[in-house]
Amino acid sequence: MESRLVTPGPYRATKLWNEVTKYFRAGMPLRMHRQRFRKHGNCFSAMEAVDWLHELLRNNSNFGPEVTRQQTVQLLRKFLKNHVIEDIKGRWGSENLDDNNNLFRFPSTSPVKTLPRRSLLKENTENISKEKESVFKVPYFSRRTPKKHILLDIPENTEDTKNKIMEEEDKEGFHGRKISQEDIEEIWQNIILIHLQTILGVPSLEEVLHSAQVVPQYVIYNMTNTSKHGVVVLQNKSEDLPHWVLSAMKCLAYWPRSNDMSQPTYVGFERDVFRTVADYFLSLPEPLLTFEYYELFVNILDLLQPHLERVAIEALRVCCLLLPPPNRRKLQLLMRMISRISQNVDMPRLHDTIGTRSLMIQTFSQCVLCCAEEVDLDDLLATRLVSFLMDHQQDIFQVPTYLQVAVQDHIDSLKTAQFQYPGEEISAILPTYSYCKRITPEEFDEQKVSTSQAAVAELLENIIRDKNLSLKDKKKKLKQFQKEYPLIYKNRFPTTESEAILFEDKPTIKQPMLSLKKPKFRSLRY
């Protein structure tokens, strides 16, 4: 059955639940079964339900191929608990369902969960598209190099840095109202909110992310206090991972090279180390993405499509900046560890029946994403998100420097405006940013083709105009270009005469070959 993307917005987990239950009731095959010498019509076995639902979830764009059979069994147990299904005797309300031949059927009542009334009214008035029929371009910010005195480029001491900036401004003769740290933080907050709204493609971030949840101090700290490897460095060591957890994670991430051979090892040593790390993360009081950002990260799930991979990475890159610094550090180190373990061919099996990659995802999904209140699809949603985080952790945890540049541009524009309108309030002269509008997939494909063709044509012109290339090298490069891009080459050189004009082969005078006459030898005969 064709899957349908659930659009971003509040209560997305409930919408996904309704989608899955609707597809399951509509598509699950029902037939006659015999059990204990009795025939039961319009029913299915638990094993048949697991087979069908597992295939549905794996092919559904909202969940993906990472869904395991065991997770499908757990979802069917929740179906039984919530009366989506019942056993052949009409019993439900428990989670007593296994991957076996026990028989179940659908009740006559509808399993659809009602959304809060306010959410339904907002959906109707905002007319949000049911399908993601458009590709959202990331907002463009200026990419010029920031000045050396930018506050965000000097992480050690915010107050000292701010004082230095103010002193430099006085030396430059700036006599307008000085921009305070509060003004800078407000600019950060506004840019983050507008950027996320554009990426997610929603009319409003209301009920997904409140402005109060964007803490500028967290964002600035996460962007500036990093090690040479890009990992957040905490000034308060009591908030960091315990030393023994860090040692265990390093041991697993670099196995077997990092294993301290001075410590006695034994068969199954790596399993015990892994269990130690897992126990620590699973015992945390709240998930690493925190309860308050649950709706935000759940709404990013529909961006995890092959054609939207770049947009999804960008959305997660910005959202992970919102986390408290200790959470971001733990999440980044955890993702680096499980990514390396999954790719390590020398790592022994950490489980008898589950593959290493699946084990990593299943073990740590609940400690990464979870709702404060029990949500029926938590396991599946967290699995999909952790899988993407693990595969793209290097890109996601890169510091987006363009945000720094955007903030500094905003501040510079603010200073310029203060010269023009002295005495005006900061909020009255804030410059506005224009963002790219939504475009259709067809327009995106057309722009992609035209842009790439223009870039290739420019490359051809650069080869033609390059005076440092010898004639031989230029011919070689042009011949290679013609082989790779024959149409573009033909547009530039429609005839052989136009190509010949470029080279204008100069006649070369060949050196005459020396004609050596063969010497005559006298006969030795007399």
In a domain, 418, yes or no: no
Q: Span 366-380, mean pLDDT?
A: 81
126 in a domain, yes or no? Answer: no
The larger pLDDT score, comparing residue 427 to residue 97, is at: 97
Q: Give pLDDT tens digits for 174-197.
A: 445 578 888 889 999 999 998 888
- Return d(Cα 381, Cα 51) in angstroms, integer: 20
30: containing domain: 12-114
User: Do residues 331 and 337 make contact, with C-beta atoms less than 8 angstroms apart?
Assistant: no
Ranges 180-189, 211-220, 409-418, most confident: 211-220
Q: 131 pLDDT exceeds 50?
A: no
Q: Does residue 393 sit in the same domain as residue 469?
A: no
Apex 327 CA angle, 324 and 333, nearest 5: 140
Element of type H or E holding 188 = helix 181-200
* pLDDT average, residue stretch 210-217: 92
Q: Which two tokens stand for residue 428?
A: 């009255």
Are 445 and 398 members of one domain? no
Q: Bigger pLDDT: 375 or 222? A: 222
The total number of structural domains in the chain stands at: 3
Report the share of the chain in percent with pLDDT over 70: 72
Instruction: Work out whether strand 31-35 and strand 86-87 pair parallel, antiparallel, or are unpaired.
Output: unpaired
Kindly tell me if the per-residue pLDDT of 398 is higher than 50: yes
Kindly report the backbone phi and psi dihedral angles of residue 26, in degrees, each rounded to the nearest multiple of 5, phi listed first.
-80, -30
Same-domain check for residues 336 and 475: no
Residue 444 pLDDT greater than 70, yes or no: no
Last residue of a domain, one of 114, 146, 178: 114
Which has the minimum average pLDDT: 3-17, 210-224, 311-325, 403-417? 3-17
117 Cβ neighbours under 8 A, 6+ residues apart: none
- SS3 assignment, position 206: coil
**Residue 444 vs residue 350, higher pLDDT:** 350
SS3 at position 425 = coil
Alpha helices in 28-101 (DSSP H): 46-59, 69-81
> Does residue 110 sit in the same domain as residue 140?
no
pLDDT tens for each residue of 248-271: 999 999 988 865 555 557 888 999
Chain centroid offset of residue 343 CA: 19
Q: What is the pLDDT of residue 512?
A: 53
One domain for residues 102 and 145? no
Identify which has the larger pLDDT, 28 or 198.
28
33-37 long-range contacts, CB within 8 A, separation 24+: 33/103, 35/88, 35/101, 35/103
Task: Report the CATH number that the domain containing residue 102 is assigned in CATH.
Answer: 1.10.10.10
Amino acid (one-letter) located at 362? Q
Give 409's pLDDT tier (boundaries 50, 70, 90).
confident
Tell me whether residue 523 is in a domain.
no
11-20 pLDDT, tens digit each: 677 788 888 8
In a domain, 512, yes or no: no
Angle at Cα 250 formed by Cα 245 and Cα 252, nearest 5°?
100
Note the pLDDT tens digit of each residue in 94-126: 878 999 999 999 998 777 776 654 443 344 334
pLDDT at 121 (0 to 100): 32
**Considering the domain boundaries, does residue 252 fall inside one?**
yes
Given a cut of 50, is residue 461 above it in pLDDT?
Answer: yes
At 465-514, the pLDDT tens digits run: 877 778 888 888 888 888 888 888 888 888 877 777 776 654 444 555 54
Residue 521 is predicted with a pLDDT of 54
Q: What is the DSSP string of 448-462?
A: HHHHHHHHHHHHHHH
Query: Do 372 and 480 have their domain in common?
Result: no
Residue 39's φ and ψ, nearest 5 degrees, are -100, 140
Q: Are residues 104 and 142 in the same domain?
A: no
**Tens of pLDDT, residues 47-100:** 999 999 999 888 887 787 878 888 899 889 889 988 899 999 888 888 789 999
> Does residue 414 belong to any structural domain of this protein?
no
Rg of the Cα atoms in the chain: 32
**Residues 58, 22 share a domain:** yes
Q: Looking at residues 380-386, what average pLDDT do you find?
A: 89
216 and 335 inside one domain: yes
Q: In sequence order, what are the beta bridge partners of 45?
A: 103
Examine the domain organization and report whether 17 and 151 are in the same domain: no
Residue 316 belongs to some domain of the structure: yes
Instruction: Provide the mean pLDDT of the chain.
Output: 77
CA distance 456 to 448: 12
0.85 exceeded by the pTM?
no
Query: Looking at the domain assignment, is residue 524 inside a domain?
Result: no
Regarding whether 463 and 392 lie in a shared domain, the answer is: no
CA distance 439 to 100: 49
Burial label, 413 (beta-carbon count in 10 A; 0-12, 13-18, 19+): middle
What's the confidence (pLDDT) of residue 192?
Answer: 92
CATH number of the domain that residue 203 is part of? 1.10.555.10
In 10 A of CB 382, how many CB atoms?
26
Q: Are 333 and 324 a contacting pair, CB within 8 Å?
A: no
Binned at pLDDT 50, 70 and 90, residue 272 comes out as very high
Q: How far apart are CA 20 and CA 377, in angstroms?
A: 10
| Pair (106, 193) in one structural domain | no
Closest CA to 324 of 232, 209, 211: 232
